[in-house]
């Protein structure tokens, strides 16, 4: 990926790196767990699975379908980031996997609002799509779709964390998000 140079008149403010910065990685993974556990507990109470040998034989196919749905969701999540990156910058995004994260990245510079749109688009778009799917499908599909929704929300905690963190920074910052690392620049203020 070609990294565009920082905007003129801006200086490096900070870098967020979810692969190399252990503290940030632990925060994001802790948030993901803090969201996934209550969601799953709620579902176990509201829709307790009834497991019988006859049910396992009849619906064995739901387990691989759930895995396929989750794999497809990860690809769609990152594609959504990439589509919005391209729409807002005109720069072609790149995609990759850097365990434990799949990512879409760009060498372009984004305003805070543009970054927030890119960051939140997948959780909002796919969250609404999965809720609609959940309502439209028969009850037998509840767990397959719900587990994908848990992946949607918990897997978006890095995006949500970034949006919350950037909200505390000056409004006129610029962000370059290469997928697992974000460089944040702020305007150089002239001294009077």
Residue 2: predicted pLDDT: 77
Residue 192: predicted pLDDT: 52
List, in order, residues 6 or more apart from 38 with CB less than 8 Å away.
Answer: none
Neighbours of 123 (CB within 10 A): 19
Asked whether the beta carbons of 163 and 119 are under 8 A apart, the reply is yes
pLDDT at 56 over 70: no
79-29-103 Cα angle (round to 5): 20
Tens digit of each residue's pLDDT (9 = 90 or more) over 132-178: 999 999 988 898 999 999 999 999 999 999 999 999 999 999 999 99
Tens digit of each residue's pLDDT (9 = 90 or more) over 70-123: 999 999 999 999 999 999 999 999 999 877 678 899 999 999 999 999 999 999
Residue 129: predicted pLDDT: 96
Strands 181-187 and 10-17: antiparallel
Query: Comparing 50 with 182, which gets the higher pLDDT?
Result: 182
Residue 102: predicted pLDDT: 85
pLDDT at 191 over 60: no
Domain ranges of the chain: 10-19+31-187
Q: What is the dihedral of CA 82, 87, 93, 96, to 10 degrees?
A: 0
Tens digit of each residue's pLDDT (9 = 90 or more) over 8-44: 999 999 999 988 888 988 998 899 999 999 999 998 8
Residue 1: predicted pLDDT: 67
């Amino acid at each position: 990926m070609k990294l565009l140079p920082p905007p003129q008149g801006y200086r490096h403010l900070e870098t967020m790196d979810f692969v190399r910065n252990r503290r940030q990685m632990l925060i994001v993974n802790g948030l993901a767990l803090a969201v996934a556990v209550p969601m799953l507990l709620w579902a176990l109470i509201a829709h307790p699975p009834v497991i019988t040998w006859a049910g396992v034989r009849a619906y064995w196919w739901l387990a691989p379908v759930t895995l396929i749905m989750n794999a497809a969701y990860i690809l769609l999540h990152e594609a959504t980031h990439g589509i919005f990156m391209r729409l807002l910058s005109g720069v072609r995004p790149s995609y990759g996997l850097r365990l434990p994260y799949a990512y879409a990245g760009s060498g372009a510079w984004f305003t805070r609002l543009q970054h927030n749109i890119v960051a939140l688009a997948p959780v909002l778009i796919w969250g609404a799509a999965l809720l609609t799917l959940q309502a439209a499908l028969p009850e037998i599909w509840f767990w397959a779709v719900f587990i994908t929704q848990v992946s949607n929300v918990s897997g978006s905690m890095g995006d949500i964390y970034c949006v919350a963190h950037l909200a505390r920074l000056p409004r006129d910052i610029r962000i370059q998000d290469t997928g697992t690392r974000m460089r944040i620049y702020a305007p150089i203020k002239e001294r009077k």
